[in-house]
Amino acid sequence: MVVVASPNSMIGEKILPIDLPMIDLSAERSMVMKRIVKACEEYGFFNVINHGVPYDIISKMEEVGFDFFAKPMEQKKLVALDKPFGYGCKNIGFNGDMGEVEYLLLNANVPSIPNDSSNFSSIVRAYTEAVKELACEILVLMAEGLGVPNTSIFTTFITQLDNDSILRFNHYPPKNSKDRDNSHSYNVAFGEHSDPQILTILRSNAVPGLQISLQHGVWNPVVPDPSAFCVNVGDLLQVMTNGRFVSVRHRAVTNSYKCRMSVAYFVAPPLDACIVAPSVMVTPNRPSLLFKPFTWEEYKKVTYSLRLGDTRIHLFRNCTQLE
């Protein structure tokens, strides 16, 4: 880990820039598996390159995303989809969280918007299909790397037609003009949280903003790499690895003169999927199941009843666990 101290911090917070593990998916398979497992244990985050998602699809996705957010507010608000999907501005979730962000949340199985007069929906569909394939590849590598006998244990969730995966565009305005004279300040635009699902595959333009917290009170800005995907472990994968992989808290800040856009694909199982670690994850280091089995529906319900920054995973810990 390369750590350089930086003065850009809020009171009581330390900022330590970090180099996330960069994993080349075209490298030798057993090495890729080992590096992914290590990254998920130590950082909960890693970048992948040579990921197989065509550049053409990625750049078109960026273009249609920016075009969408450039539309007049009245038009964006017309994207009426069933809750929680659709367009949102400043409000995050339903429990009072706010941020300097506008977003478009879509069902990844039907990633389209109504009354689409452009080719938005077809590009978003192509992107989602390609990123889903990448997610499957990574999940198989993880299972193999962990020595789980059934290497499709994680992928079976998303290959099911009723998987609950979602796609989210986040659009962050540049820092407010009156704040620009203070180049060392930043605004938290998407507050700290962990992702509740299995895995998140995020791509952003070249503007920095994502920060992860590997230690309480310390924020590690992630250097954006538009040619890579930034992958992170979600709460469900922490449970399914019996705590071996970590679902790390992160946030997004606005601190530049440029707009930032990120697109996150959240890999989630069907609502009735039972979330439990396979027996191979119970080892001398972790001699019993850390979490009780639960369904994604139960976990999702709790997640949506809480605030963005609330932790939820501890509510599912096994009480019999002695630590």
Ligand X SMILES: O=C(O)CCC(=O)C(=O)O
Ligand Y SMILES: C=C1C[C@]23C[C@@]1(O)CC[C@H]2[C@@]12CC[C@H](O)[C@@](C)(C(=O)O1)[C@H]2[C@@H]3C(=O)O
The catalytic site residues sit at 260
Among 49, 81, 140, 306, binds ligand Y (CB under 6 A): 306
Three-class SS state of 48: strand
Token output for 270: 């069907």
**Residue 304 interacts with, from ligand Y, ligand X, Fe ion, none (CB under 5-8 Å by kind):** ligand Y
Q: Which of 47, 128, 194, 204 binds ligand X (CB under 6 A)?
A: 204
Of 316, 309, 186, 165, the residue nearest 250 (C-alpha)? 309
Q: Which stretch binds ligand Y (CB under 6 A): 13-21, 87-95, 174-182, 235-243?
A: 87-95
- Rounded to an integer, what distance in angstroms lies between the CA atom of residue 45 and that of residue 245? 10
Q: Kindly state the tokens that stand for 316.
A: 């599912």
**193 touching ligand Y, by CB under 6 A:** yes
d(CA 166, CA 55): 22
Number of residues forming the site for Fe ion (CB under 5 A): 1
Q: Among residues 104 and 252, whose Cβ is nearest to ligand X?
A: 252
Binding mask of the shown chain, residues 242 to 281, with x at each position contacting ligand X by CB under 6 A: --------x-x---------x-x-----------------
Least separation in angstroms between CB 263 and ligand X = 9
Residue 178: partners with Cβ closer than 8 Å, 6 or more residues away: none
Among 104, 130, 198, 210, binds ligand X (CB under 6 A): 210
By a kind-dependent CB cut-off of 5 to 8 A, residue 210 interacts, out of ligand Y, Fe ion, ligand X, none, with: ligand X
Q: Which stretch binds ligand X (CB under 6 A): 65-73, 115-123, 176-184, 202-210?
A: 202-210
At residue 158, the 3 state secondary structure works out as helix
Q: Which does 51 bind (CB under 5 to 8 A by kind): ligand Y, Fe ion, ligand X, none?
A: none
Mask for 111-150, x = binds ligand X (CB under 6 A): ----------------------------------------
Residues between 4 and 63 with contacts to ligand Y, criterion CB under 6 A: none
Question: Is residue 32 classed as helix, strand or coil in its secondary structure?
Answer: helix
Separation in Å, CA 205 to CA 125, 212, 224, 225: 19, 17, 7, 7
User: Nearest CA to 108 among 127, 87, 134, 82?
Assistant: 127
Residue 194 as a binder of ligand X (CB under 6 A): the answer is no
Pairing of β 260-267 and β 187-193: unpaired
What is the C-alpha to C-alpha distance for residues 293 and 289, in angstroms, rounded to an integer?
A: 9
- Residue 195 interacting with Fe ion (CB under 5 A): yes
Q: Which two tokens stand for residue 185?
A: 């300040």
Q: To the nearest 10°, the Cα dihedral for 253, 42, 34, 264?
A: -20
Which listed option, ligand Y, ligand X, Fe ion, none, makes contact with residue 262 (CB within 5 to 8 Å by class)?
Answer: ligand X
CA distances, 94 to each of 10, 85, 262, 313, 315 (Å): 27, 12, 21, 19, 20
Alpha-carbon distance of 208 to 222, in angstroms, equals 7
What is the closest distance, in whole angstroms, from the C-beta atom of residue 252 to ligand X in the complex? 4
Q: Residue numbers of the site for ligand Y (CB under 6 A)?
A: 84, 92-93, 95, 97, 166, 168, 193, 195-196, 266, 303-304, 306-308
Q: Which residues bind Fe ion (CB under 5 A)?
A: 195
Give the residues lining the site for ligand X (CB under 6 A). Answer: 168, 170, 190, 195, 202, 204, 209-210, 250, 252, 262, 264
